[in-house]
A and B are shown apart, each in its own frame.
Chain A
Amino acid sequence: MALSHVATASRSQLLNPLTILLSSSLRRPISTDTTPITVETSVPFTGHKCEPPSRTVETNPQELLTFFKDMALMRRMEIAADSLYKAKLIRGFCHLYDGQEAVAVGMEAALTQKDCIITAYRDHCIFLGRGGTLLESFAELMGRQDGCSRGKGGSMHFYKKEGGFYGGHGIVGAQVPLGCGLAFAQKYSKDENVTFALYGDGAANQGQLFEALNMVALWDLPAILVCENNHYGMGTAEWRAAKSPAYYKRGDYVPGLKVDGMDALAVKRACKFAKEHALKNGPIILEMDTYRYHGHSMSDPGSTYRTRDEITGIRQERDPIERIRKLILAHDLATEKELKDIEKEARKDVDEAIAKAKESPMPDPSELFTNIYVKDCGLEGHRLMGKGSS
């Protein structure tokens, strides 16, 4: 799947050299080689009440290079957001996803844009995966008009309706019942698509999650609940918050699968498996064993509840981008220099998008009152009321 830099992503972009909105003439096209390569995932899958898929994954040079490029872009975007936050251009809450990129790209590779994804507030990279652009992302983070939510949502409220991305939610766990609703609508219209509802290990202890599990299982809704287990609910380690941190087993009667979330190919394999399962046998839980390098958010240093050694250890051994890099080099799909060039390109794209986003104006004051209601009869009176009282 190609990470799009234009407003709408399309499947056909896989076959063309990528054109970028802010392109330079030095752009190197992604290899279009689709000869299959067979790879084994880092660790086998563990299943709960289901037969786990095999460790063998099929991929191809194009996909691997696309993964590399997409993850490099996501990583760059998050690090740039870090700098922007420290420069006080991004305010409020900013939850960064670096370290977890494999979940976003692996999932995207297994789905279409007709499938729905909904997640919580760590949503910047998933937004990109669903077809969001860097400009929309940075503009929204800085509260500008060109943001995906017109500057009115912020970091925690990225949405992309055409891409099947339903956000972007600030209240922990509240997006899971919404995800059930998306799956309900899919079942209602019988369109053979699925919904991936993502939540974290902290949200896994929310009551509404179990309510949601009951309902999706009861009515056989095509929902896949994905626990992105990065082992910390803000500052509380999973073993301090959960009696049973085996989140993939928590569905009880709902089957589950534990996946190495730092291995994009394993994620892709698991998501494909889950989609088939959901359409045939009903809902399934996926637990992605992943890790975030940053703290919970920009106001959390991320080192008071875990050691720096732990962070660097994961970075050295399990980093998702490094894994794909090693795979590419091992199979001789590109040279080190070419990969470095891709990363440079990503940096450039991000810098250009930030520059463009900075030029985007702040929302007009009249925007304060738009989109409260959908335009409908008689509501103009309310808008006038609002103005009258201010």
Chain B
Amino acid sequence: MAAIFQGIGTTASLSTSNSFDSKRFQFPSRRSYLSERKGNLFVMRSEGRIIGGSKGRGTSPLVTSAVASKAESSSTSTASKPGHELLLFEALREGLEEEMIRDPTVCVMGEDVGHYGGSYKVTKGLAEKYGDLRVLDTPIAENSFTGMAIGAAMTGLRPVVEGMNMGFLLLAFNQISNNCGMLHYTSGGQFKIPVVIRGPGGVGRQLGAEHSQRLESYFQSIPGIQMVACSTPYNAKGLMKAAIRSENPVILFEHVLLYNLKERIPDEEYVLSLEEAEMVRPGEHVTILTYSRMRYHVMQAAKTLVNKGYDPEVIDIRSLKPFDLYTIGNSVKKTHRVLIVEECMRTGGIGASLTAAINENFHDYLDAPIVCLSSQDVPTPYAGTLEEWTVVQPAQIVTAVEQLCR
């Protein structure tokens, strides 16, 4: 690891996202891994480049000109040519359906995903098209239907399991930890578990404590799984597709309050990288790391900060496990100040792990201790005002940046 980051250190400090990529390709170690890859996946970097040495066996070719969110503001985040507008839950559905068309082993299971169309309409219409077995309405038995999905994945199917609310997946923790995460290892590599577990989590609008949980902090220690969090229609569709195509078990965290976000996304097919962070707003003064809903609180705070003369760099980390320390590291080396804004609780949250990881790897580049803004270590209360105080608000972000940059 030291070798890679020394390599980055020697590049120009004012690196744009484009130059990250070109430097990345020069590392011999990365090349050798690429040549070993048996996957048939073309992966889009967020700047629109394709990496990959595969000879395109059976892949649908992806278009290089599909452009991603490298712009300064989120409103012009996508297409260079006219795409189509849709809401985030529709983007998820589009990604899921495209993968179902492409690969007959992709199937869906969960509560009310079939005839009801999904409690957040992500699977609406799929059961009519693909049948009741392929879009399976399960009884309310999270532990066993998650186990069932994992068993099916052991034979080669690619189930997409929906937790109606991520919090319910606590009931399936044993299956997710022991079977989903560990079977590839304990079987000495004999079985792959290409399962996707997805669902909404996070603090909503007065949904109560049990329906406002952030499971990413509980799952993050499980070895063998990958975790990603989507935040825009564009990355929702791209991450959904990437998660389904991945041979590893992936947990895709959606957020209850983000399903109705509207965005224009490309008509062409695209798949995003599961391990890559997204540069939302390049800047110079401070690196703000965030994901999911808090991205929007951060961007709101960023408007205020810009008016006050600050230039924050905002990165949506997207990949919660593993962290994209590459992108994050480059940013830290540029700004030397880090603020993490997350929705997890302070204790044992994603922010806590990220703080440790950055301290460990980039300690020399920090001019100030890392500041981590998290939700309070409390069950989410029902009352609106109390709930508001549980999560990080834009005003707190502004204050934190001002203090950090003093």
Contacts and interface: CB of A to CB of B under 8 A. Distances in A.
Nearest to B246: A376
Interface in A169-191: 169-171, 174, 176-182, 184-188
Contacts of A208: 141, 143-144, 147
Nearest to B181: A372
B248 A215 contact: no
Nearest to B319: A378
A106 interface: no
A214 interface: yes
B179 interface: yes
A153 B184 CA distance: 10
Contacts of A188: 107, 133-134, 152, 157
A37 interface: no
Given A177-B148, A208-B144, A388-B1, A215 B139 contact: yes
B37 to A, nearest CB: 6
B184 A373 contact: yes
B247 A374 contact: yes
Contacts of A212: 144, 147-148
A377 B156 CA distance: 20
Contacts of B36: 375
B179 A382 contact: no
Given A181-B152, A385-B1, A157 B133 contact: no
Interface string B177-221: 011000111111111101000000000000000000000000000
Contact of A177 (B2, B146, B156): B146
A159 B187 contact: yes
Given A168-B187, A178-B154, A380 B30 contact: yes
B375 interface: no
A161 B191 contact: yes
Nearest to B194: A374
A378 B322 CA distance: 10
Given A174-B175, A177-B145, A153 B1 contact: no
B275 A379 contact: yes
A179 B153 CA distance: 11
B117 interface: no
B151 A381 contact: no
B175 to A, nearest CB: 6
Contacts of A150: 188-189
Given A152-B185, A215-B145, A387 B1 contact: yes
Interface residues of B, number: 70
A264 to B, nearest CB: 28
Nearest to B157: A185
B138 A378 contact: no
Contacts of A376: 37, 39, 41, 246-248
Interface in B229-278: 246-248, 273-276
Contacts of A187: 133
Nearest to B5: A388
B184 A384 contact: no
B29 interface: yes
A373 B1 contact: no
A278 B191 CA distance: 25
Contacts of A149: 186-188, 190
A116 interface: yes
A377 B52 contact: yes
Contacts of B107: 188
Interface string A206-219: 01100110110011
Interface in A65-122: 116, 118
A178 B275 contact: no
A251 interface: no
Interface centre among B38, B175, B326 (most CB of A within 10 A): B175
A377 B43 contact: yes
Contacts of A152: 185-186, 188
Nearest to A382: B322
Contact of B326 (A154, A182, A381): A381
Interface string B284-318: 00000000000000000000000000000000000
A214 B153 CA distance: 20
A171 B178 contact: yes
B73 interface: no
A371 B149 contact: no
Nearest to A116: B155
Given A166-B191, A382-B275, A174 B179 contact: yes
B397 interface: no
B325 interface: yes
A161 B143 CA distance: 24
Contacts of B274: 378
Contact of B155 (A169, A182, A218): A182
B226 interface: yes
A129 interface: no
Interface string A6-36: 0000000000000000000000000000000
Interface centre among A181, A215, A381, A384 (most CB of B within 10 A): A181
B184 to A, nearest CB: 5
Nearest to B51: A377
A224 B104 CA distance: 26
B223 A372 contact: yes
Interface in B106-135: 107, 133-134
Contacts of B41: 376-377
A182 B144 contact: no
B143 A375 contact: no
B395 interface: no
B144 A153 contact: no
A203 to B, nearest CB: 13
B326 A373 contact: no
B11 interface: no
A182 B179 contact: no
Contacts of A207: 143
A222 interface: no
B174 interface: yes
A151 B188 CA distance: 8
Contacts of B147: 174, 176-178, 180-181, 208, 212
A188 to B, nearest CB: 6
Nearest to A145: B188
Contact of B325 (A372, A374, A379, A381): A381
Contacts of B52: 377
Given A177-B143, A181-B147, A382-B275, A373 B154 contact: no
Contact of B189 (A169, A181, A211, A371): A371
Given A153-B187, A208-B144, A384-B1, A179 B151 contact: yes
Interface of B: 1-2, 4, 29-30, 33-34, 36-39, 41, 43, 51-52, 107, 133-134, 136, 138-139, 141, 143-157, 174-175, 178-179, 183-192, 194, 223-224, 226, 246-248, 273-276, 322-326, 357, 360-361
Top 4 closest pairs, chain A to chain B, by CB: A181-B151, A177-B147, A388-B1, A178-B151
7 contacts: A154-B186, A160-B190, A180-B151, A182-B155, A211-B144, A371-B184, A372-B224
